[in-house]
């Protein structure tokens, strides 16, 4: 596993790490946007997902983090 | 011991998973739970290998950065490199965690299943995050396995 750079183990580990990175970046970026007063609709458009999806994934966490969320427009 | 030990360990492992924002309890969370034990076989075996809970966390962080490097990605933003705790407990045990328990249980008679057996299960893993993290941390896995095996056989 240590010599071949492109062995499946390394490639699969890269996939795992990239997913984790994307998840953490999403959490941080959505929080930043909502703190800056973005609406759920704006965040959903920017992420290319439905408003319901982004709300379901982040609303509780952000409310618990004390982020003041904009009313739906 | 036995059942109750594994049950208690799994509760702690799932808490480790939650603290790291993981959806499943995986082998690395079991290892973190073992490394967090204050006394007994776990620290007796892990400490000489330089593995306390903090060292395991550091090794996992290194593995994460190294695997990002495999994808050609280099990250300096501390906010995304640090694990983020989740509100929710992991929903299930992952395949690597299941494998650890399976191998650990196979190495024990029901009654004396303890930390050394679980550690053996962890060290038997050939792929995934834990073996990569241990290799990057320079842990002498063979030596650790031999000592865990001796502890199991002597018990």
Please give the pLDDT value at position A68. Answer: 85
Please give the pLDDT value at position B37. Answer: 98
Question: Per the CB < 8 Å rule, is B80 touching A24?
Answer: yes
| Closest Cβ–Cβ partner in A2, A17, A64 for B67 | A17
Q: Does B63 touch chain A (CB under 8 A)?
A: yes
- CA of A10: how far to CAs of A6, B71, B93, B108, in Å? 6, 9, 23, 32
Cα separation, B90 vs B93, in Å, equals 8
Mean pLDDT over all residues of chain A?
89
Mean pLDDT over all residues of chain B?
94
The topology (CATH level 3) of B3-154 is Double Clp-N motif (1.10.1780)
Please give the pLDDT value at position B111. Answer: 67
Please give the pLDDT value at position B2. Answer: 53
Please give the pLDDT value at position B112. Answer: 81
Domain boundaries, chain A: 8-64
pLDDT for A55-70, tens place per residue? 999 999 999 888 888 7
For the purposes of burial, counting CB atoms within 10 Å of the CB of B99, is it exposed (0-12), middle (13-18) or buried (19 or more)?
Answer: buried
Please give the pLDDT value at position A71. Answer: 65
Show the low-confidence residues of chain B (pLDDT under 70).
Answer: 1-3, 110-111, 155
Residue A17, min C-alpha distance to chain B (Å) = 6
Please give the pLDDT value at position B55. Answer: 98
Cα separation, B87 vs B100, in Å, equals 25
Please give the pLDDT value at position A1. Answer: 47
Vertex A47: Cα angle to A46 and A50 (nearest 5): 100
Tell which A residues from 2 to 41 touch B, by Cβ distance under 8 Å: 2, 5, 9-18, 20-21, 23-25, 27-28
pLDDT for A1-15, tens place per residue? 445 557 899 999 999
């Amino acid at each position: 596993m240590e010599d071949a750079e492109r062995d499946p183990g390394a490639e699969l580990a890269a996939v795992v790490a990239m997913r984790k990175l994307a998840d953490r970046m999403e959490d941080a970026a959505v929080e930043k946007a909502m703190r800056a007063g973005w609406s759920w609709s704006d965040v959903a458009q920017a992420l290319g997902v439905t408003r319901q999806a982004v709300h379901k994934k982040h609303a509780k966490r952000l409310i618990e983090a004390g982020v003041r969320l904009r009313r739906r427009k | 011991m036995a059942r109750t030990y594994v049950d208690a360990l799994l509760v702690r492992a799932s808490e480790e998973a939650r603290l790291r924002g993981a959806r499943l309890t995986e082998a690395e969370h079991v290892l973190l739970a073992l490394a967090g034990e204050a006394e007994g076989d776990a620290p007796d075996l892990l400490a000489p290998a330089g593995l306390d809970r903090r060292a395991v966390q550091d090794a996992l962080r290194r593995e994460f950065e190294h695997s990002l490097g495999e994808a050609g990605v280099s990250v300096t933003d501390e906010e995304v490199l640090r694990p983020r705790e989740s509100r929710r407990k992991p929903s299930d045990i992952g395949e690597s965690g299941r494998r650890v328990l399976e191998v650990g249980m196979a190495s024990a008679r029901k009654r004396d299943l303890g930390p050394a057996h679980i550690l053996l299960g962890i060290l038997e893993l050939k792929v995934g995050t834990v073996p990569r993290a241990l290799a990057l941390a320079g842990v002498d896995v063979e030596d650790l396995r031999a000592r865990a095996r001796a502890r199991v056989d002597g018990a």
